[in-house]
Amino acid sequence: MNASNLTVILFCALIQLIQAAYDPTWDSLDKRPLPRWYDDAKFGIFIHWGVFSVPSFGTEWFWNEWKGNNKPFVDFMKTNYPDRFTYQDFAKEFSAEFYDPNQWADIFAKSGAKYVVLTSKHHEGYTLWPSKYSYSWNAVDVGPGRNVLGDLATAVRAKNLTFGVYHSLYEWYNPIYASDKASQWKSREFVDNKILPEMKELVEAYHPSIVWSDGDWEAPDTYWKSTEFLAWLYNDSPVKDYVVVNDRWGKGTNCQHGDIYTCSDRYNPGTLQPHKWENAMTIDKASWGFRRNANIADYCSAIELLTQLVSTVSCGGNLLMNVGPTKEGTIAPIFQERLAEVGEWLAINGEAIYGSRPWTAQNDTMTYGVWYTKKDTTVYAISLHWTWDGSDGFMELASARDLFEKNPHTAVYMLGNESDGPLSWSLTDKSVKIKFPDMAIVKSRWAYTLKIVPMA
């Protein structure tokens, strides 16, 4: 072997050593850079689907509420099911006979989402893939009789969407978990024999680009062996180069560790955050799972959803918007309509969302409901309303004023109507006034994006 060949081999070995550099400590794991694909994507779909979709009453926490003697849930069972009916009996009715993963993927793609996260296993312990660590309590052995997770992974990837999984660490009524809990977490039988091998099986079989952990809050991360799992995920797993994880890995880890912070459900701080974060929220304001007892007022409107999207992205976050399919495997028309409306808006205004970054100001200091993003030297002002009554069709912006004062050649366009030419503007002492076009010719609905471009 000559010296040059030896140098190449040593160099390759060094690269491998550098790549496998994460120790099973938070100090080491927290140094991992966020994969860029996630920060560019901005918008994903969350799917809560499981045995809880069968009763579809109240919440996806149905089993816990029923066994916790919450009266509406107890009454529901007494009225509709025989005395000896168990939660496990619901699984036989989780039929999914109308489940068409290709149709789901088409709906998600048309929504403008760039990634999809499916509940691989919720707190009930039922897995949507044929896990050998969940014998007789998975979608192949009881219920649909098919690998619903694997089928969806294939379908969404065929639409060029990124696939990820939600996974609950704890299981409400697993006796091994209960035993570990009774030992005050000194025993780790549940983690060693169920959770760690289950998560590795999930990652190795389906290569998820997101591992969205949950159900962690009762026990410390040392019980869950979270740092050991994440070191394996970042160093040796098949998704090590691009996987993204959240912050729910043990009591006290949320908003402290992980590639992205979710902090709490429906987290939207409204201000720029120092760490990448995600707003996981629901179209149904009261539940993550499908509810048969929902009313129309319980669902977010298109403008409410766009408000969440725009404010989240402006402050450096991603939006993960949840839908709950039915036990038959359909996505209810109300969810389809809302996703289509978001997709319609993004088809026109997505330039201000995808691949954008926070600007120096997030929301305008003068005009309520205006949020900013940027790409390179272009700034986008997204207004969640049309011009106010009495404004003579002008939008006044205080935060963007300096862009126009420093460069009198600055041009401003409305996305969707760029072919109509730049909009006229003028400066006041405190703002820039931008003349909106005739609303009758504007292509966008619900929210309107001004593209502010510095010209030579």
CA pair distance 109, 163, nearest whole angstrom: 12
Same fold, 24-352 and 370-453: no
Q: Does domain 24-352 have CATH number 3.20.20.80?
A: yes
In 299-387, alpha helices (H): 302-314, 333-349
Residue 440's region, left for phi above 0, alpha for psi from -120 to 50, else beta, is alpha
8 A C-beta contact, residue 369 and residue 386? no
Residue 30, burial from CB neighbour count under 10 angstroms (0-12, 13-18, 19+): middle
pLDDT digits (tens, 9 = 90+) for 146-182: 999 999 999 999 999 999 999 999 999 999 999 999 9
Class of domain 370-453: mainly beta
- Nearest of 184, 173, 213 to residue 196 by alpha carbon: 213
Per-residue pLDDT band at 456 (split at 50, 70, 90): confident
pTM for the full model?
0.94
* pLDDT for residue 272 is more than 70: yes
CA pair distance 284, 288, nearest whole angstrom: 7
3-state helix, strand, coil in the chain (%, to 5): 35, 15, 45
Tell how many helices (H) and how many strands (E) occur in the chain: 16, 14
**Bridge-based pairing state of the strands 448-453 and 411-414:** antiparallel
H-run or E-run covering 46: strand 43-47
* pLDDT for residue 211 is more than 90: yes
Phi, psi angles (nearest 5°) of residue 281: -140, 170
CA pair distance 421, 413, nearest whole angstrom: 7
* pLDDT attached to residue 316: 98
In angstroms, what CA-CA distances link 431 with 25, 426, 454?
Answer: 50, 9, 17
* pLDDT attached to residue 17: 44
Domain ranges of the chain: 24-352, 370-453
CA pair distance 240, 233, nearest whole angstrom: 6
Residue 320's region, left for phi above 0, alpha for psi from -120 to 50, else beta, is beta
8 A C-beta contact, residue 342 and residue 321? yes
How many of the other CB atoms lie within 10 Å of CB of 35?
16
Percent of the chain with pLDDT over 90: 94
CA pair distance 54, 76, nearest whole angstrom: 13
* pLDDT for residue 44 is more than 80: yes
* pLDDT for residue 363 is more than 90: yes
* pLDDT attached to residue 2: 56
pLDDT digits (tens, 9 = 90+) for 98-134: 999 999 999 999 999 999 999 999 999 999 999 999 9
* pLDDT for residue 234 is more than 60: yes
In angstroms, what CA-CA distances link 37 with 31, 114, 174, 425?
Answer: 18, 10, 37, 36
Three-state DSSP class for residue 337 = helix
Residue 323 sits at the vertex; the CA angle it makes with 320 and 326, to the nearest 5 degrees, is 160
- Nearest of 394, 426, 435 to residue 408 by alpha carbon: 426
Per the document, the length of the chain is 456
